[in-house]
Amino acid sequence: MENIEYNSVVKHFLKNDKVVFSLLKRFGEEKLSNRKNYFKHLCTSIVGQQLSVKSAAAINKRFLEYFDNKLQPEKIAQTETEVFRSLGLSGAKSKYVKDLSQKIVDKTISLDGISKKSNSEIIKELTKVKGIGPWTVDMFLIFTLGRPNILASGDLGIKKAIMLNYDLKKLPTDKNVIRLSKKMNWSPFNSYVMLYLWKSLDEG
Catalytic residues: 155
Q: Please confirm whether the linkage preceding 172 is cis (ω < 30° from 0).
A: no
As a whole number of angstroms, the distance between CA 174 and CA 176 comes to 5
Contact 188, 148 (CB under 8 A): yes
Burial (CB count within 10 angstroms: exposed 0-12, middle 13-18, buried 19+), residue 95:
middle
For residue 74, give Cα distances in angstroms to 41, 79, 98, 99: 16, 9, 9, 11
- What is the dihedral sign for C-alpha 183, 7, 122, 160? negative
Contact 46, 39 (CB under 8 A): no
